[in-house]
Amino acid sequence: MKDYFCGMHTENIDVKNILGLQLPTDPRWVNLAEMELEEILTDHAYCEQKAATTCISLIQRYPDRVEMVEELAPIVTEEWGHFRMVLGELKKRNLQLGKQRKDEYVNRLLEFQKKDGSVEDRFLDRLLTMALIEARSCERFKRLSEGLDDEYMRNFYRKFMESEAGHYTLFINLSEHYLPKEKVRKRWKEWLDFERELMKEMEVRGDRIH
């Protein structure tokens, strides 16, 4: 497996050219998120938790994919560490971890996954779903790292931005490791087109990471 950071300079992350996303986040989102910091931190915590458990699920489902297991094992630890970091930030601010909310964005992505077809097609879609979630998370963290008034929180989210950029690339690289590059890129374009239309439909809410 090649280095999943691919020499990426995170200060130069470009939404379309590097992350591939076809539609940037509505600029209003950062202002709304800043007004609902407890809510956004709670949602962020659960996003990190779900990222860790999804990686565990992939390892359990595909234990024969040796390279994937080896690459995802440390990601589980990293994502759980992020969960604890966000919990720590909540505690420091005397805020509470609220209840987990329905993630409409992720649920809509799951609906787009192929439910029939070959095992390889379903495997590819699971990896590309994770790549897309990580890419959008990275883009959202970039917005927070640049747009929040609080310098401490800008730096806080810059760390997450850097991490998610690497994770997005990892899932793309894993896809191309196991499947023909042409097949991966064709399906990835379909995912990006779907996500663009989804983002047009999604309500701009400051209490959600996605």
Q: What ranges do the domains of the chain cover? A: 29-201
Nearest residue to 72 (alpha-carbon basis) of 18, 63, 186, 31:
63
- φ/ψ of 9, rounded to 5, equals -95, 110
Percent of the chain with pLDDT over 90: 80
Residue 39 CA: distances (Å) to CA of 42, 45, 46, 94, 201: 5, 10, 11, 13, 22
Residues 169 and 165: their CA atoms lie apart, in Å, by 7
Q: Write the DSSP string, 63-127.
A: TT-HHHHHHHHHHHHHHHHHHHHHHHHHHHTT---------HHHHHHHHHS-SSS-HHHHHHHHH
Question: Is this prediction's pTM over 0.85?
Answer: yes
- Condensed to tens digits (0 to 9), the pLDDT of residues 161-182 reads 988 888 889 999 999 999 999 9
CATH number corresponding to 29-201: 1.20.1260.10
Percent of the chain with pLDDT over 70: 91
- Condensed to tens digits (0 to 9), the pLDDT of residues 4-23 reads 333 334 444 455 555 789 99
